[in-house]
Structure 1
């Protein structure tokens, strides 16, 4: 089972791209658990909430992968990953729980699509930092480089992002 993570700062089209790719390849995708969690509980969060969100994201991924395997698919897409939790925890609380860091080291994706911040910001009650998107993008890029992850930066309008991602996934599937 090939796993592709779509990651990056807020308001970069991660969910849209995850849905498009899953539909195009007729497979499953793991939604961003943080959105459902915060919509239910409100936008305020503490470090234990981020840990609960991390566990929920892992559960969403496991369910999507199991469904893809059951349906005989070769690939599954993940809308965000634990790297998002790591970066938010370090930004908001100055550190990330060790178990999340260990899980990031253990959990590898066959491809990570890092979405650039060149899309306009779309306000949303759950989004926090419209003026820090470039800063966060740099943090994601540096972390992926340190992990020696197989990743590519995806840029442009939504249609261009889909086309770039599709070409990268097609290459992965060869």
Structure 2
């Protein structure tokens, strides 16, 4: 499938905001594939101790996973459970800077719509989550990053089915 005609939806946001649930739901609604978050696999045995090299490896892994799944796209729609912007946000937070290869690729890897998941869900503990007390901070970081890119995004709020419906409604912006 030609990558240029595929509409890409990025489900992004701070930790514990229902990104994976939303991405999988939208992929099901759209009858297409969902690109999972590569970092969840990569970090499984790191015990929340990350190096800059780990972040760069996750950057390449997320790109490769997205590219590998494009041939499986149906209805010219691809749903991504996060993007490489997450790598930039974590690099900036943990190491004070982001490698140029990451920031350059962010500009070269557009998505047609970003769904920024709001922090209105209760925090759910998970061994791969790190900063429950900084959700407001990370929400603001996401808003700033998306605004700086000048991309089309919608903040998705609500609980349960209402949240899923908000995500579905946002898809109207692609039509």
After TM superposition, the score normalised by the length of structure 1 is: 0.94
| Superposition map of 1:143-154 within 5 A | 143-154=145-156
Match of 2:169 among 161, 167, 170: 167
For residue 52 of structure 1, what is the aligned residue in structure 2? Answer: 57
- Distance in 1 (CA, whole Å) between partners of 2:128 and 2:141 is 20
- Distance in 2 (CA, whole Å) between partners of 1:152 and 1:121 is 21
Q: Answer whether contact 2:91 2:98 (CA < 8 A) is retained.
A: yes
Where in structure 1 are there 5+ consecutive unaligned residues? none
- Distance in 1 (CA, whole Å) between partners of 2:16 and 2:56 is 22
CA RMSD of aligned residues (A): 1.1
For residue 117 of structure 1, what is the aligned residue in structure 2? Answer: 119
Q: Does 1:13 align with 2:12?
A: no
Q: Answer whether contact 2:48 2:130 (CA < 8 A) is retained.
A: no
Where in structure 2 are there 5+ consecutive unaligned residues? 1-5
Shift of 1:34: 0.4
Q: Answer whether contact 1:30 1:63 (CA < 8 A) is retained.
A: no
Match of 1:37 among 13, 29, 42: 42
For residue 93 of structure 2, what is the aligned residue in structure 1? Answer: 91
Shift of 1:41: 4.0
Off by >4 Å, runs of 4+ in structure 1 = none
For residue 61 of structure 1, what is the aligned residue in structure 2? Answer: 66
Residues 50-94 of structure 1, C-alpha deviations (whole Å, 9 max, x = no match): 0000111111111222210xxx42201000111111011000000
Secondary structure of the corresponding residue to residue 165 of structure 1: helix
Q: Answer whether contact 2:38 2:65 (CA < 8 A) is retained.
A: yes
Secondary structure of the corresponding residue to residue 12 of structure 1: coil
Secondary structure of the corresponding residue to residue 43 of structure 1: coil
Shift of 1:134: 0.8
Secondary structure of the corresponding residue to residue 3 of structure 1: strand
Q: Answer whether contact 1:7 1:112 (CA < 8 A) is retained.
A: yes
Shift of 1:164: 1.1
For residue 27 of structure 2, what is the aligned residue in structure 1? Answer: 22
